[in-house]
Amino acid sequence: MLYQASHPLIELRRLHRFYGKTHAVNDVSFEVDRGQVFGFIGPNGAGKTTSMRILATLDLPTYGDALIDGFSSITDPDLVRKRMGFMPDGFGTYPYMNCEEYLDFFARSYGMVGMERVRGVRRVLGFTGLDKIADKPINGLSKGMRQRLSLGRAMIHDPAVLILDEPANGLDPRARIELRQMIRQLAVDGKAILVSSHILTELAEMVDHVGIIERGNLLAVGCLDEIRRKMQGSTVIEVNLLENADQCRIWLSSRTPTLKIEQQGNRVRFDFSGTEREQAELLRSIILEGFFVLAWTAETHSLEDIFMQITTGAVQ
């Protein structure tokens, strides 16, 4: 299939989806070009699945539009389905089919016939590494293998766009690395990939761009490095105390009520946006206050910190 180069492969245009009073998706716009992996990150109930389901022609927006290769999921769902594969977060299986039968079944439902279908199933079995267990029944597959099969199903008709809802959920580290390699390869092959997760670090090494969503609102969007640079205005300080970390946390919070602060055992972490001198003065006053400081480290933000800074943790 030929794709038009003049527009992005995935585009959300001022997408809104309301369920009664719940603004599941509230004015979300972004684009994903060919060869790009876009991470759609947000906590439970943020609106990721709703947006993806609209793109995948499984739901309709309240207003706005969702386009695949320039075609609207609302007005041209058939053209969209030909160009897009959706991997939902739940795996709807036919447990007594084996992997090959399962892929063959979906290839048929996309209208693939003859050698095109045989080659398509072989290509996907090879790509996902399921060729060695092609005759294994689905109910005997591990979680990682099921995810591979679910990805295989989404790509059976060789679409230009893949929409993957929480593909890394529940995978062990090895399976996650393998998934990452597959997704990167698909991007190298020129596909546009939208992949969701609750966890920024889970996707950090496979995505080029991210959109961070919470309560239906897109809070940040852009290339990961750009977002990181914007957030680097402050430093994360970690104080390791011999004892009384609780009191130290309370003391710090009372000095600066707006401080984002957390405590784990004897460690207290907080954001600090002052100068180095102010940092040194703060350390001195903690010590003068009578706290025993074992270590004091100032570091730039990790991706996890950035995510925590952008989101508030609110769910709806």
Residues 174 and 166: their CA atoms lie apart, in Å, by 16
6 near ligand ATP, judged by CB under 6 A: no
Of residues 154 and 218, the one with the C-beta less far from ligand ATP? 218
Which of the ranges 43-51, 127-135, 187-195, 201-209 carries the binding residues for ligand ATP, by CB under 6 A?
A: 43-51
Which of the ranges 40-48, 138-146, 150-158, 245-253 carries the binding residues for ligand ATP, by CB under 6 A?
A: 40-48
Residues 186 and 295: their CA atoms lie apart, in Å, by 45
Nearest approach, Cβ of residue 166 and ligand ATP (Å): 7
Residues 150 and 161: their CA atoms lie apart, in Å, by 15
> Is the CB of residue 116 less than 8 Å from the CB of residue 108?
no
Nearest approach, Cβ of residue 33 and ligand ATP (Å): 23
**What letter does residue 137 receive in the DSSP assignment?**
B
Residues 200 and 309: their CA atoms lie apart, in Å, by 12
Residue among 56, 76, 74, 53 at smallest CA distance from 65: 74
85 near ligand ATP, judged by CB under 6 A: no
Of residues 143 and 230, the one with the C-beta less far from ligand ATP? 143
CA dihedral 108, 179, 229, 316 (to 10 degrees): 70
62 near ligand ATP, judged by CB under 6 A: no
CA dihedral 132, 156, 59, 10 (to 10 degrees): 110
Task: Tell me which of 39, 47, 85, 211 binds ligand ATP, using CB under 6 A.
Answer: 47
**What letter does residue 76 receive in the DSSP assignment?**
-
274 near ligand ATP, judged by CB under 6 A: no
DSSP 3-state of 118: helix
Task: Tell me which of 24, 121, 183, 204 binds ligand ATP, using CB under 6 A.
Answer: 24
Of residues 156 and 179, the one with the C-beta less far from ligand ATP? 179
Residues 13 and 283: their CA atoms lie apart, in Å, by 48
Which of the ranges 46-54, 112-120, 200-208, 296-304 carries the binding residues for ligand ATP, by CB under 6 A?
A: 46-54
Task: Tell me which of 45, 70, 222, 274 binds ligand ATP, using CB under 6 A.
Answer: 45
39 near ligand ATP, judged by CB under 6 A: no
42 near ligand ATP, judged by CB under 6 A: yes
Nearest approach, Cβ of residue 74 and ligand ATP (Å): 17
Residues 193 and 182: their CA atoms lie apart, in Å, by 11
